Amino acid sequence: MAKRPLKTLERVLSKAGIGSRTDARAWIAEGRVKVNGRITRDPDQWIDMARDRVRFDNEPLEARARVYVLLYKPTGYLTTYKDPQGRPTVYELIEDVGTFVSPVGRLDLDTSGLLLMTNDNQFAERVTNPESHVPKTYLVKASTLLTDEQLQQLRDGIELSDGPTRPAAVKRLRDSAKYTHFEITLTEGRNRQVRRMVEALDATVLKLVRIRIGPIAIGTLQIGKWRALTPTEVAALK
């Protein structure tokens, strides 16, 4: 007989789309959550959704409608829910979404561009799983003029501390007196990958903007603004 899918209580609450797992732990500690009619204060209690009845503020826990958001993240914003140091986070830019959504992957503090956010965990897993090979495209301003040979190194794969990178699509956009601007498309998502690849060429990244994930482009969306993905866009990424 197949095993029933078990999840911790905090994860059940977050997957329902009502808040983050940090929120869930706080609500459970406050006694706002009941399991099978009894208040529980254990966020790690195992829940069998086929049998257990979970209530939040005495209302049955129901999954929220799936929401898919595209945010044009500015630099200087953290891709996290709260920051102990009080720095701005992306959640300050999406307060009018109307339900809790989580980032699909991350963008560094100094990186701007397309950030997807959703309460659909399966969708997020599909987009971020390295085995899915969902391409992500960035605009890069390098600190030096890069040769054709250096750009070819990026295409072929760069040896990093955690192994060689997959082949990438690279297009030179323009050169100024001191800098090369280029576009790069990756099919993997290692930590700070673009910056590390450029550093391997003895240069640094001065500006980094993610402009596309799969077939979804940032288009004419203004920086700091968000829009809902269309059903066609969601289907294309699924």
Catalytic one among 42, 83, 108, 156?
Answer: 108
Phi/psi of residue 53, nearest 5 degrees: -110, 120
The verdict on whether 83 is a catalytic residue reads: no
Strands (E), the chain: 6-8, 33-35, 38-39, 46-48, 54-56, 59-60, 68-73, 102-103, 112-118, 136-142, 159-160, 163-164, 169-175, 180-186, 205-213, 216-217, 226-228
Take residue 127 and report the two structure tokens written for it.
Answer: 């987009």
Q: Which residues are annotated as catalytic?
A: 108
